[in-house]
Structures are given as structure tokens and as C-alpha cells.
Structure 1
Amino acid sequence: MIRNISLALVVLIASTQAYAVESLITLESHYSAKETADRFESIIKDKGFTVFTRIDHQKNAASVGLTLRPTEVIIFGNPKIGTQLMQCSQLVAIDLPQKVLISEDADNNVWLSYNNPEYIKQRHNIKGCDKVINKISGVLSKLSNAATSK
């Protein structure tokens, strides 16, 4: 009996892990944090995306006498695509507009991170919208690679 329960538990854990998706996609940049953020912003503007805001957390920390390594968030979107995703599940609007985080770690490595569209799909139990999710995944990957690669 205990062996059967153990086997069932192993199968349950394995199947749960098979469906787990990393929530963030992170790429190392070959540029400084500021240059990476500037490059990303320029690229998305050139592609017709709307930049809603750029938040400089390091600057905000300094304004209250605190220190923080370079940390910026760029919030951007394209209603032609975002609306299609919200039509699949209106709750996904809590994760829109899209955002990227550009940060520098303690070893001076610079990273660009964004929400994995597959994670958003799982989070909101989106069904029947793989074409939109795949398009978003491809676009975010291309934009991020362009901003971080030499």
C-alpha cells in the first residue's frame, strides 16, 4: 500500500513539474543597463509600439537617500496584439501592457527580463489562442535579443 502511494506521489509530482513554466525569460546583455534600456526603447518605438513609461528605480531610490543598482522597467504595448490577448481572457489585462526589466546584478552583469507569454497563458488558463501567444513570444524574443546582442 505504501509503495502504491509513493508511486502515485512520484507520478503526481512529475506531472506537475511537466506543466510548470518559467514565469520570466531573462537574457544577458552585452551593454550597460542604461544602454540596454535605451536600445530597447528605441527598437520598440521604431517598430510602432507605444512606450507608456520608463521607470528608473535607481533614480527613485536616490531621491529618498537610498542606493540601488541600475534597475529600470519599460512599460510598452501594441493594442493590435494586446486586445487580441484580452479577447481570449479579459483577466490577462492585469498583465498588460507588457513590461521589461533591465537590471544590473552585484557582479555588474546586465539582464533584460520579461514575463514569459506561456506563463501568462497558464496563469489565466487561456485556451484556443496559441497563435496570439506564439506571436507575442516571437516578438518579445526578437525585440529583447536585438536590444541585448552585439
Structure 2
Amino acid sequence: MIIKECRFNFDECEKILKNKIKEIGEIFAEIDHSKNAKNVGISLPKDKVIIFGNPKVGTLLMEQNIEVSIDLPLRVAIWEKDGKTFVEARMPSEIAREYGITHEIIKKMDEAVNYVISSVT
């Protein structure tokens, strides 16, 4: 698991992350936890999860062990705490290890996640 403080405010961090993700794959969904909390009358600092990946790559892992599909596509979380913005992601190699997957593509997946995270930290 990677948790790092962003160099940018929440909105700028989100914008940069999305642009970098689009360079390596696609964004499949976004969960806005703070918006969902507000909709039920609860206050939560800004908190979003971006679900992203590359179907050609993720499918290679699912071919080795279909059970990994619960942890794919990949996710990156962005949240605010104490006036700072943070990002969090699980590394593909960490996920693959849990499922006994050893495909050579995992190294490139880790590099892609590091590329995205390092763009804002």
C-alpha cells in the first residue's frame, strides 16, 4: 500500500491524476465518498476513489487466476485530512502476490501506478 501526501490541493491533485491515468489506461468509475456522505446528511472531507485500468493488462492477470477480478480494476484514493491532500493505492504486485499470480506484466503495472502517484507527490 502506498500513502503519500500530495504537492497540490485536492482539486489539482485529482485533475493531474486523471490526466496521468488516461495516459496509461482508462477511468472506469469514480466514487465521491464526501458527496455520498453529504447526500445522507453527514459531513466528510473531500474523498474520492478513481477506478482505472487497462483491460488488456488486467485480463492477463484474470487468465491466471479469475479470483483476482474482485481487486481489479485498480483504484487510487484521494482525500483531505488536516488541510492536506493524500493519495493512496495498492500496488499491483501486492494484489498479484495475494492470488499467486507471477505474470511478467506485473512489473510494468507497478511502474504505471508509480508513474501516476509520483505525478502528484
Match of residue 94, structure 1, among 51, 70, 79:
70
- The structure with the largest strand share of the pair is 2
| Structure-1 separation of matches of 2:26 and 2:92 | 19
| Structure-2 separation of matches of 1:133 and 1:66 | 39
- 3-state SS in 2 of match to 1:38: helix
| Structure-1 separation of matches of 2:25 and 2:109 | 13
1:30 aligned residue? 7
- 3-state SS in 2 of match to 1:120: helix
1:125 aligned residue? 100
1:75 aligned residue? 51
Q: Offset at 1:113? A: 0.7
Q: Offset at 1:63? A: 1.3
Q: Offset at 1:118? A: 2.6
1:135 aligned residue? 108
- 3-state SS in 2 of match to 1:69: coil
- 3-state SS in 2 of match to 1:68: coil
- Percent identity over the alignment is 34
> Is 2:27–2:51's contact at 8 Å kept on the other side of the alignment?
yes
State the TM-score, normalizing by the size of structure 2: 0.91
Q: Which has the larger radius of gyration?
A: 1
| Structure-2 separation of matches of 1:77 and 1:102 | 17
- Which of 114-123 and 136-145 deviates more? 114-123
Large movers: runs of 4+ above 3 Å: none
For structure 1, list consecutive stretches of 5 or more residues without a partner in the other structure.
Answer: 1-23
| Structure-1 separation of matches of 2:86 and 2:96 | 24
| Structure-1 separation of matches of 2:37 and 2:63 | 38
Q: Offset at 1:75? A: 0.7
Deviations 1:76-134 (A, max 9, x none): 111111111112221111111111000112x22211111122321221122x41x2111
- Aligned pairs for 1:37-52 (under 5 A) are 37-45=14-22, 47=23, 49-52=25-28
For structure 2, list consecutive stretches of 5 or more residues without a partner in the other structure.
Answer: none
| Structure-1 separation of matches of 2:111 and 2:118 | 11
